[in-house]
Amino acid sequence: MSDHRGVILVTGASRGIGAAIARRCAQDGYAVAVNYASDSEGARQTVAAIVDAGGTAEAIDADVSLASDVVRLFDRAAELGMLAAVVNNAGITGNLIGPLAEVPSEILQRVADVNVVGPLLVCGEAVRRLSTRLGGTGGQIINISSTAVKAGSPGTWVHYAATKGAVDVLTVGLASEVGPEGVRVNCVAPGSTHTGLHAAAGMPDRTARLSPGIPLGRAAEPEEVAAAVSWLLSPEASYITGAILPVSGGR
């Protein structure tokens, strides 16, 4: 592990891309607040991997779609030290693949709550704590979107793609709003990635089926997405804000 770079809060970090981001940020020297909503065992494993490698991490349960939970999450993260960055990774598909007209309203509402309201709440609280105008020392926000936004994912999960489109707009608008306050805001947009996302929605072979249509011929590994986040957080990206970086193999 490298020298301590402050605290980073990673939402939805119990598995998949979020867990990979948490591990990579720990390698980069951050103390990591590992947020989870329900997968306590996954969060425990993420924390254990970080601690076993010599890092600092703590698992914190919170539903990012609830304002009170978000405030509590940030308060708990602050117990680890000075907040330096936030990664807005938590997101769901509703575990359903199909046309929009077949998606039950309660799933639409929950997906919108987690994927849109959640990032808005987390970004708002991050700014309140990081902004130099509000007494903070500056910092960074990285949102996690999806290249599903490009084509809208017709017949698959238009509902999910639409919410990630909102995350893209949030990134661009907020970056302009808080750039003068010492806060950089960027976004990483993964394409097809080897996680449990498709299996949870009932199509475990979907990643393999999509691979021939990707110029690089394969899906991403979560660690490759985490590497993009790491770079945006690094001094090498110090003049970048409002960017949406695709990690999609060219698709």
Q: Which residues are the active-site residues?
A: 160
Torsion of CA 63, 64, 68, 69, to 10 degrees: 50
- Distance separating alpha carbons of residues 147 and 247, to the nearest angstrom: 8
Handedness of CA 90, 94, 95, 101 (dihedral sign): negative
CB-CB contact of 220 with 190 (8 Å)? yes
Strand duo 183-190 + 7-10: pairing: unpaired
CB-CB contact of 21 with 229 (8 Å)? yes
- Per the rule left: phi > 0, alpha: psi between -120 and 50, beta: everything else, 64 is alpha
CB-CB contact of 118 with 90 (8 Å)? yes
Residue showing tokens 């609830």: 66
Q: Which residues contact 109 (CB under 8 A, 6 or more apart)?
A: none
How far apart are the two ends of the chain, measured CA to CA in Å?
Answer: 34
- Distance separating alpha carbons of residues 149 and 30, to the nearest angstrom: 30
